[in-house]
Structures are given as C-alpha cells and as structure tokens.
Amino acid sequence: ASFLLLCFRTSLVTPLIFGLLLQPPLTQPSVITQPNIVLLMADDLGIGDVGCYGNDTIRTPNIDLLAKEGVKLTQHITAAPLCTPSRAAFLTGRYPLRSGMDAINNYRVIFWNGGSGGLPPNETTFAKILQQQGYSTGLIGKWHQGVNCESRDDHCHHPLNHGFDYFYGMPFTLISDCQPTETPEMDRVFRGKLWLYTQMIGLVTLTAALGRLTGLISVRWKTLTCLVGFSLLFFVSWFSSYGFVQRWNCIMMRNHEVTEQPMVTDRTTSLILRESISFIERNKHKPFLLFLSFLHSHTPLLTTEKFLGRSRHGLYGDNVEEMDWMVGQVLNAIDKEGLRNTTLVYFASDHGGWLERQEGNRQLGGWNGIYRGGKAMGGWEGGIRVPGIFRWPGVLPAGTVIDEPTSLMDIYPTVVHLAGGVLPQDRVIDGRDLMPLLQGRVEHSEHEFLFHYCGIHLHAARWHQKDSGAIWKAHYVTPIFRPLGAGACYDRGFCPCFGEGVTHHDPPLLFDLSRDPSEAKPLSADTEPLFDAVIRKIGRAIEEHRRTLTPVPEQLSMYNVVWKPWLQPCCGTFPFCWCDKEGDN
C-alpha cells in the first residue's frame, strides 16, 4: 500500500515540477548589464515645440513615438538656461558653478574656439567612467565646452580629453555668423560699439591730418604718426577676431583634426547623421555610448531643402521637423542592427526656447508652451523646463508619464550605474539615479530641493514637498521684461542675471507649481497660510547647499573668454587657416 501511495504521489509531483520548469517567468526581465546608451540632445528646443508635450502644429512623430514606447518626464529641469553651463552640468552631474562653468559677468558661455576657458580637465564626465568600463564612447555634433588651455595643440578641454574615444562635429556652437547670408549674431551690440569707436578715432585722425596739411591745426608729425598708429592698432586688435568669426568659430573637427574651416553648412546635417549611424554600425558588437548633440534648432537654423517650407511655423518649424526626422533615422539604425532591446535612448533639450530671437517678423526661436520665460532666464520655468524622454523596451514601462522633479544632471549617475561604474567619491554629485523612478519601483524623485542659477547668481529654488504633492518655488531675483507687459527681454535680446535689468524680491515671489505651473499668480502670507514656513524651509536648504560649494577657477572669466590667436584651432599655418577635407571625399 505504501509503495502504491508513493507511486501515486510521484505521478502527481513529476508533472507539477515539469510544469513549473516550463512555465515562462512572471517577473519583469532583469536589467541588462551594460546596455548601449544613446543620448540625443537638441539645442535651444522649447518644451512647447514637441508634439507629445502639447504642440499640435509642428510634426514630431519620431520623438512622440519615443514617448509612447517609453517614459515621458514632465518636470525635467536643466541646471542652467544657456548652452555651456547646462551641458557642463549634464556631462558632470554637478551644478556648473562647482566646476567654474557658470558666469561671473555678462559673458555666460564659451565665446571663442580660441579662448582658454572650458570644462576643466580634473572634472570626471560620465563618458570617462563609461570608457573605463569598456564602452566605446562617441560624441557627434556640438561640444561648446572649450578646446585648448595654453597652446594650440594641448586640447585640454577637448572631448577626447573628457572620455570620448571619437568626436566629429563643432567644438563651438552654431551661430548666425556661420551663414554669410544671415545677420551676424555673436556679440552684436559690442561689435557695433567697436565699429562706432573705430569710426570716431578714424575721424579724429583724419581731421588732425587734414588740419596739419592745410595748416589750420598745429599738430606735430610725430603726434600724428602716433595717432595713426593707435587707430590702426585699435582696429586690428578687434577686427582680427570679430572680423573673422566664421573662420575662427564655424569649424568642424574629427577627433583633433580640423576638417572644415570654415564649415560648409549645406552638408553639415547629412554629415552629422552619417557619422552617428556609422558609429552605431562600427560598435554594435560591444557596449557603446553615443552622445548625439544636435546643431538643431539653434540659429541660423540650418535646414536642408527637403524640409524647407514643410511646417506651419516657418524656418524654425522646418528645422525642428528635420531634427525629428534625424531622430527617426538614428532609431532605425538601432533597430536595423538588432539593438532595440539592449539600448537605452534618451532625448532632451539643453534649455528652453529663445523667445527674443527674431529677425523682422520672423520668429527664429522656440516656444515654451504654458511656461513663463525662456532661454537665458535662470528662474522662470520656460528657461529650464525641457522635454525628457527615456526608452528601453522590456525594461522601462511604455506609455508612462512621470510628473516628478528630475534634472539633466540625473543622467550622470543613471548611466554610470547602468554601466557598472562607481560615482566619484571626492566631489559632490548633484544628480540622482533615475532608474528606480523610471521603472516604477519608487513613487517620488530623490530631489527634495533644486536650485536655479543665472550665472553664479541664485535666482530661484524649488522644494518638492512629497507628503502633500506641492512643488513650492521661490524667486529671489527675476529679470525685468521689456517692453512693459512683454514676456521676455526684447530690448536686450537676452535677459541679464544681475544689475539694472533685474528685480530683487524680499520676501521672494512664491508659487506652487502643482497648482500654478505657469507661475502666473504669486502667493503671499495673506493668501497662503504656509507662506512663512515654506520660505524658511527653502532658505535653510539654500544655506545648506551653499556650504557645499568650494572656490574653483572661473572658466568664463574675461581673460578666459577673450580670443587668443595662439589657441585658435587651425588646419593650416596660422593665420592662413582654410581647409575642406570632407570635400576631398
């Protein structure tokens, strides 16, 4: 009987064991170790310019598909409202003033390829850590973090000195000066003053010369010679840089080699796309990091003929739609190589759209949706709230929307952890690993406070009160909009960080972004019972934050910003810098 009972039990247990072994797992797939990482960053793109963030007139089907297949962040915040400091924070996971990459003056970005400022060599980018973890690392497109320190070939700020194995693109940034048919953009007001001073000095010199020749003015020839010499010296001192902006700044490089000087803008888009796809194809058999840093949608809005006139928003809309097509081509390349499920794709913009960028009736800057302000404004949401999309099929839940405060600085710890790396222990890292939030393993962002700088000046701070869901934001300094009633600094072209162009608030302006995301109705002690308590809480957080800051060399000081001929990248014998090595191909 016992034998029969044993056989009966065995007959029941055996199929059960086989059934359990053959049954597919019910748990989520485990995170793939060392996924490929593709980071897509637009330039000057407003959050309101993208379909999945509410734009129903500019067509962005590929970016929208990324959001549909992945996770969309609705409070994705940049650490600065301008290119150079925002990208420095993105690369290092640190507020830019920690590395000296935020401005102490009105020169708030890298101004020349021949300047000496840039991302310090002692900063550790996520690319450097991934490189150490065995990744192939590539940067295609815009850099804008400096090139040299002391000599033309030291490349101390160059991408290859910051963890990238391969670089193809602009060491600078796209500007209207790169397109001869466009109105010059770089330092336009200052350049106008230099022309005026030159004409005034020239007029004085000419008057003195004519007076000496006619005998109406008693001027020594020696004095006249010195005056002529000074006039020529003054003119050459500024025209040698500002007179050749296209030649000095609008260049393309492959690794350390200058390939186009000046760049041939008609083919830039196709070359950047070709290089990006080629990098994926070359590195498909090992983990890779591709940082595709678009030149779109910065002026002069380089757009190929195929996309001109296609959108309902003029040249700017055409340019955004072309960038979206480029995103689609990169995603197709990932699919073609069978890398879809092993690749994390991220899309964002470096800061908000440039509201003041206009030429006549043409609006050449972006739109920031319902959010107040734009590019260069360190406090208002329109300057710092940007698209943020992640896609990783099988790992991140598709069609997810997360309304929690996150930062571009969070990319740093996120990709470092995914690659199996370790965060630097000798410095403050302000970013937080996003994977638990993106996968739904936690409900709230790790950020309780975020600090919003304009240059080195703290303009605002936010407090995420997690137990109530409130997002309190205090503004201590705001720019003065001109003309009166406008939503930007149209009189200046950029809003300033300090001086006569800003207003200091004491008590600060307070908003609850969970109820008033447009920052339209400031709260007061009369309308908000928690006003004083919230202001005190944010104030204590700012004091604690400031205690973590240490003095560092200012990379955007006047000395570091000015053009230095001995640092200028050149593909010939300086000053005869000219080449078109892509044309040879």
> Which residues are marked as active site?
83, 144
Partners of 77 in beta bridges: 385, 407
DSSP state for residue 576 in the 8-state scheme: B
Exposed/middle/buried for 10, CB within 10 Å: 0-12, 13-18, 19+? Answer: exposed
- Phi first, then psi, for residue 7 (nearest 5°) are -65, -40
The closest of 312, 271, 261, 317 to 294, measured between CA atoms, is 271
The closest of 103, 101, 97, 95 to 79, measured between CA atoms, is 95
Counts of helices then strands in the chain (DSSP H, E): 14, 17
The closest of 12, 6, 78 to 45, measured between CA atoms, is 78
Angle between helices 221-242 and 188-214 (to 10 degrees): 160
Strands 166-170 and 136-142 come out as parallel
Partners of 388 in beta bridges: 73, 348
Question: What gap in Å lies between CA 49 and CA 42, rounded to an integer?
Answer: 11
Residues 6+ apart with CB under 8 A from 573: none
Structure tokens at 464: 């995420």
Amino acid symbol at 480: I
Structure tokens at 379: 């406090």
The closest of 465, 539, 542, 477 to 505, measured between CA atoms, is 477
3-state SS class at 257:
strand
DSSP character string of 532-571: HHHHHHHHHHHHHHHTT------TTSHHHHS--GGG---S
3-state SS class at 40:
strand
Question: What gap in Å lies between CA 240 and CA 242, rounded to an integer?
Answer: 6
Q: Over the Cα atoms of the chain, what is R_g?
A: 27
DSSP character string of 345-378: EEEEESS---TT-EETTEE-S---TTSS--TT-S
DSSP character string of 100-146: T-S-SSS--S---TT-S--S-TT---HHHHHHHTT-EEEEEEE--S-
